[in-house]
Amino acid sequence: MFEIPPNHPRAESLRIREKLIEGFEKGIVAKAGLIAHGRGEAFDYLIGEKTTEPALEAAKVAAAAMLIAKHPVISVNGNVAALVPKEIVELSKVTEAKIEVNLFYRTREREEAIKSVLEEAGAKEILGVGEATSATIPELSSWRRKVDPRGILVADVVLVPLEDGDRTEALRKMGKIVITVDLNPLSRTAQWANITIVDNVVRAIPNITEQAKKLKNFSSGKLKEVLKSFDNRKNLGKMIEIIKDRLTKLAEKGIYIPEASQIYEEMRRIE
């Protein structure tokens, strides 16, 4: 992996990029996955690269939904496998959810590469690889329609981080509860899901696990209350509001980085 200087002001963001590049070189991440990450990064900038209060609330509700579920499934694509393999396995253990590989750019090689990385991270069973994807999601034309009859097909709750909108819509029309993690609150996925966590997947997945650990001993009645009290429309509205307020404050400053602003002032005095 390319060595990132630890004192680089954007070290964490560069480290995440390097994981994706490495994932691409290992055949895990699709070419388009690199582009999708760029889009996500831009939105992460806008929300301030940290978990917000509405995102934490959505993570708690997601945990409750997964704990109540009879057949919870975590759908894993290339970007998720490259960024958070261990975290996905940990979440699946805490919530007793199955893990299924589901790819937009499906090839047998990528399925196997993703299966391996998840097994290295401690997963015992991976659905959705090879002949196992014998079932089909109705009204979906992309490769994402191919699902495992033991997994997404029979799931009542599906976590689909970094997804494309078509499948979220199709899964909802099948009556499933869909949880997504998407940095873009305006994406079709974010809009179609029952529970949208507007956060970076590297922060959101550990947050769901932490919340699930806290809620694990709650009765199903209490968990249902958590789920019922949630309003995804309001939560998305709050996220858009956070971006709007942040941009308003930044617009007042123009140059928001203190050192850059100081040099700008000094130069203006000299001129």
| Residues near ligand PTJ, by CB under 6 A | 30, 32-33, 36-37, 39-40, 43, 77-79, 103-105, 162-164, 181-184, 187, 200-201
If the CB atoms of residues 32 and 255 are measured against ligand PTJ, the closer one turns out to be 32
Other C-beta atoms lying within 10 Å of the C-beta of residue 105: 15
Minimum CB separation of residue 212 from ligand PTJ in Å reads 19
Three-state DSSP class for residue 76: strand
Cα 191 from Cα 159, distance rounded (Å):
15
Minimum CB separation of residue 219 from ligand PTJ in Å reads 32
If the CB atoms of residues 167 and 176 are measured against ligand PTJ, the closer one turns out to be 167
If the CB atoms of residues 28 and 61 are measured against ligand PTJ, the closer one turns out to be 28
Minimum CB separation of residue 64 from ligand PTJ in Å reads 21
* CB 59, CB 180: distance < 8 Å: no
If the CB atoms of residues 48 and 96 are measured against ligand PTJ, the closer one turns out to be 48
Cα 36 from Cα 82, distance rounded (Å):
13
Query: What residue number has its CB nearest to ligand PTJ?
Result: 40
Minimum CB separation of residue 268 from ligand PTJ in Å reads 37
Minimum CB separation of residue 203 from ligand PTJ in Å reads 8
Residue-level length of the chain: 271
Cα 198 from Cα 191, distance rounded (Å):
11
Cα 62 from Cα 119, distance rounded (Å):
24
Minimum CB separation of residue 70 from ligand PTJ in Å reads 26
Cα 238 from Cα 230, distance rounded (Å):
13
If the CB atoms of residues 126 and 162 are measured against ligand PTJ, the closer one turns out to be 162
If the CB atoms of residues 101 and 227 are measured against ligand PTJ, the closer one turns out to be 101
If the CB atoms of residues 28 and 66 are measured against ligand PTJ, the closer one turns out to be 28
- 172-194: string of b/e by CB count within 10 Å (b at 16+)? eebebbbbbbbbbbebebbbbbb
- 132-160: string of b/e by CB count within 10 Å (b at 16+)? bbebebeebeeebbbbbebbbbebebbbb
